[in-house]
Each structure stands twice: as structure tokens, then as C-alpha cells.
Amino acid sequence: MATIYIVRHGQASFGADDYDKLSPLGRRQAEVVGEYFRDCGIVLDAAYSGDLSRQRDTATLALQAQPVDVPHHIDPRFNEIENDAQITHLLPAVLELNPGVKALVDRGLGDSKDYQKVIDAVFNYWVSPDCRNDQIQSWQEYSGAVRDALSELMQQQGAGKTVAIFTSGGTLATIVSQVLGLGGDKAYQFYEPVMNCSVTRLFYSGSRVSLSYFNDCSFLQVLGAQRSDDLISYR
């Protein structure tokens, strides 16, 4: 039996010129994940992340607490879903099906809650059979790449290993829905609630994978309370 810990990146810089950068809170969250692994005696054999800065930097900060040097593999297949590109190319079709989304768009997407509601509508259109747009990566292409990346990781690492993947909410939701045997229409329910630097655990043996737990952030609550630091964030 081998173990995979999937960590969502720390808080990024929503509303800033460069979203793909950890905020000061995001950096603290990443460091706390590393301390949590260390204090629980979780020694990693390898770490993986996409090539986005917020994913790579979360991994780097967390791995500093490891008692050994951990190989960090970069695989762009663990990158986040391209939400902004989806909004650009799919929003006209979404507005035809769901006119209520227009009010959110008209207000602008500077509010994180409004932005999340638009992502919800666009994501669920993207995974539906109605989506026909060759200007963006399809759900089938994206989810297939994520499935292949996870499968290759398991084959490369083999039995008895402990591995971490530092990724994003959409990728995490895709993996969890696949492990549970669910279709894309069920994936969003695992996307929206994922907290920054929460931990999801999988067990695998050969090609068989099972979900142990999902979106655990209790350690952030406990360590944050001890330090008088609110470490919980969704975006």
C-alpha cells in the first residue's frame, strides 16, 4: 500500500495583477503544511506539482520542513483548469442557457464570490455534452491528462511509497471524482469547497486507488489558533 497526499496550493493573489503568486497568507499556509507533515512523521519519497508558480512555491515552502531532500517533479498535467480562458470562450453560450449569470458578469468579476459563481456555471457547461468549442482544451482532454499523470506517478513510484502532489482545486476535484468513479457532471462538488493548503489522502496498490479523506484543514485551524493566525481561506 502506498500513499498520496494531495495539497491544494496556498492562497494566491486574487485581484492582483499576477494571480499566480502566493499571498503572505499563502506562504504561511504552505509552511504550516510542511510542519504538519514533519510533526506527523510523514516523510515523503517524492513530490509533484504542476508548473504554475503558486503550485511550485507551495511545494518548495512545504518541503523545507522535510528531514530529507525530496525530489520535486514538475508535471504540467497537474496544472489548474484554465478558468479565465473558459470564461472568455464559453461565457456567451452559458449566458444563453443561464441568463442569471449576466448580472454577475455585469457587476464585474472583482468579487471572489461572484467569480466563483461564474466558474460554477462555466465549469458545468464545459463538462456537459452541450459544450462544443475547439478553442479551449476539452473536459475529456483535461481529465484524461490528469488521469494519465496520476497513473504514471503510481507506476513510477511503486509500492510502499509516500508521495505528495501540490496542485489546484480543479485538478484535485478531477482526481477525486475519477477515484470515486464519478463523471464530470459530479466533479464541481469537489471543486468549490476545497480550501487553500487542505490535504486529501489517497491509498493505492498497483492500479487500484481509494480515497482515504478529502479536504482536511483541521491542522490549519489548530495551528492557526495556537499562533493567533487565521490560516483558513478558500481563495
Integer angstrom CA distances of residue 37 from 32, 34, 153, 218: 9, 5, 20, 13
Any alpha helices (H) in the chain, and if so which ranges?
Answer: 24-39, 53-63, 83-97, 101-106, 112-126, 139-157, 169-179, 218-226
Grade residue 108 by pLDDT with cuts at 50, 70 and 90. Answer: low
User: Mean pLDDT over all residues of the chain?
Assistant: 94
User: Residue 121's closest CA among 47, 38, 191?
Assistant: 191
User: Residue 28: is its pLDDT beyond 70?
Assistant: yes
Which pLDDT band holds residue 118 (cuts at 50, 70, 90)?
Answer: confident
- Domain made up of 2-80+138-226: CATH architecture: 3-Layer(aba) Sandwich (3.40)
pLDDT digits (tens, 9 = 90+) for 32-57: 999 999 999 999 999 999 999 999 99
Binning pLDDT at 50, 70 and 90, where does residue 104 land?
A: confident
**Mean of the pLDDT values across residues 164-175?**
98
For residue 72, the SS3 value is: strand
| Domain residue limits, the chain | 2-80+138-226, 83-126
